[in-house]
A and B are shown apart, each in its own frame.
Chain A
Amino acid sequence: MSNHSFMKQPVSDWMRGTGPDSDIVISSRIRIARNLHGIPFPLLATNQQSAESLTRLTAVAESTDFADLGHFYVMKLVELNATERQVLVEKHLISPNLANESRNGGLLLKDDESISIMLNEEDHLRIQCLYPGLQIREAWEAASQLDDVFEAKVDYAFDEKRGYLTSCPTNVGTGIRASVMMHLPALVLTQQINRILQAVAQVGLAVRGLYGEGSEAIGNLFQISNQITLGQSEEEIIDNLYGVVKQIIEHEKAAREQLRQENITRLTDRVCRSYGILKHAAIMETKEAAQRLSDIRLGADLGLLKDVSPTMLNELMVMTQPGFLQHIYNKQMNAEERDIYRARLIRETLVRKLSAPRQSDKSKKLQE
């Protein structure tokens, strides 16, 4: 069993279900990309050069200025096994690219998992802050503060004209990607979603389904992020995203109200039917799990279900992913087995809600 704390605690900070507008906005994320001056970008760096950038950046994390910002775990990707890497991806703490393709990849992870810093991903340094609810500005402030600490100790690749220089031309300039994860079941049910997403795309923001391929959004989860990084300031980028997200929230709220007024019985039936299935099913595929969890999340937000908490749902969203399932039950599984254990985990979690305290229950299970 793993000794890393991120394997023992299933709940990252972003999954707590708190923060402004947390009935619709699950999390807010800021990622900024930076590179070291004088060392080729990770894709073209030799092993020796990428080891050098890893050493230099890790040294910053071990300095006293850094210690003021909280407690960080320092990890090399090669020291993590496949399951550990997959769990980090499923918790949205690192990218699949860092997990599978990096050379001399590193991770600096804050103990509450609100900040993860990727080393030698596509860029030398990627600072990511992931907060629950709509806290995009707060996430930017935290990321910018960390950026200042690194900048004081290492020379960044920066050009007056082009800004922060990045491996991919889509990130150059501010190097910022701000994104917000939203749960929009009512807009999907009332078939307004496409119209709204088209409008969002027209103001320079990108929308994608969180899980699922292409534009399909399994579990009604959508990620909305900025596309432009050059020629707009960080504040403009964040204000633009914030403004659009606020409007989508209003539309989703109106659609929820519309659903409630038009046919409360049908809505209640949908929510409770999914709740019943999740509580009793013996086999549960990923896609069905995501859809039914979305239903009960909507039910909980509308007060139709009393026993379900947002934290529990966020936890389930992550824990029912393949890597986490295999980790919790400590065994390798094929797809069929995963569907069985997924059903079991959901049943156990939904029943567990009545037995307090949850934290001790969980640690007991993880120690098995």
Chain B
Amino acid sequence: MMCQHCGQKPATLHFTKIINGEKTESHICEGCAREKGEFNADPAHEFSIHNLLSGLLDFDLSNGTGNLKNGVYGFKATPEAMRCDNCGLTFSQFSKMGRFGCDECYKSFGSRLDPLLKRVHGNIIHVGKIPKRNGIVLQRKRELDDLREKLQESIRMEQFEEAAQLRDHIRMLEKELTGGAEAQ
């Protein structure tokens, strides 16, 4: 189909307007659309997933905590002032970018994310694969800290035999942690 406006280029944009039940269709090319101003085809204004997400977040803000634009906040920690301590990303920056700065952001913004995730995925809790090592690593790290403390203690008490055993145990655990899968 050719552009209804210039008749020279293929129509790539198709509009259907329904006003008071009266339907009008137009088929035009990008150039004519830009001239007519019906559609902004400037790449900078392209509609992306991230625009869409920030749209959803704005919706949450304006519905969730009263009139933010006028600075009337219902809570002390407003979502806009929320900030991830790890990477410094604020919630309002996140809502503009539609992307997180680091893994800690998920904790920092916490349940604020529930409405967004619910809308995108219909769910807020992960099911499915989990890292095999995940739980184990944390446990081992805690265990190591304990052992190191005990080692210092036994050295101070001059219990060298016990210290040597502890040292070997620590070395073994350290090796497991860095060695990865085989060590499990």
Contact = CB atoms under 8 A, between A and B. Distances in A.
Interface of A: 35, 37-41, 43-44, 65, 122, 144, 147-149, 151-153, 155-170, 172-174, 204, 213, 216, 228-235
Contact of A232 (B100, B117, B128, B181): B128
Given A170-B120, A213-B12, A152 B180 contact: yes
Contacts of B132: 148, 151-152
A40 B100 CA distance: 9
A65 B100 contact: no
7 cross-chain pairs, A with B, having the tightest CB-CB distances, nearest first: A231-B123, A163-B126, A157-B103, A152-B181, A152-B180, A230-B121, A233-B128
Given A148-B132, A170-B49, A173-B128, A231 B122 contact: yes
Interface in B92-114: 97-103, 106-107, 113
Given A168-B50, A231-B124, 4 more contacts: A228-B122, A230-B117, A230-B121, A230-B124
B106 A159 contact: yes
> Which of A122, A163, A169 is the most central at the interface, judged by chain B CB atoms within 10 Å of its CB?
A169
B106 A144 contact: no
Contacts of B131: 151, 156, 158
B21 to A, nearest CB: 23
Nearest to B107: A159
A167 B99 contact: yes
A323 to B, nearest CB: 20
Contact of A231 (B87, B107, B127): B127
Contacts of A35: 103
Contacts of B87: 40, 44
B61 interface: no
Given A39-B102, A169-B120, A173-B121, A233 B133 contact: no
5 contacts: A43-B97, A160-B126, A164-B126, A170-B120, A216-B12
B16 to A, nearest CB: 14
Contact of A65 (B103, B117, B121, B181): B181
A166 B107 CA distance: 13
A169 B117 contact: yes
A232 B127 contact: yes
A43 B98 CA distance: 12
A10 to B, nearest CB: 30
A161 B107 CA distance: 10
> Which of A149, A173, A232 is the most central at the interface, judged by chain B CB atoms within 10 Å of its CB?
A173
Contacts of B106: 159, 162, 165, 172
B163 to A, nearest CB: 30
Nearest to B93: A44
Nearest to A147: B129
Nearest to B10: A287
B121 A231 contact: yes
Given A173-B128, A231-B125, A168 B117 contact: no
B125 A161 contact: yes
B180 A44 contact: no
A174 B99 CA distance: 17
A44 B94 CA distance: 11
B121 A168 contact: no
B164 interface: no
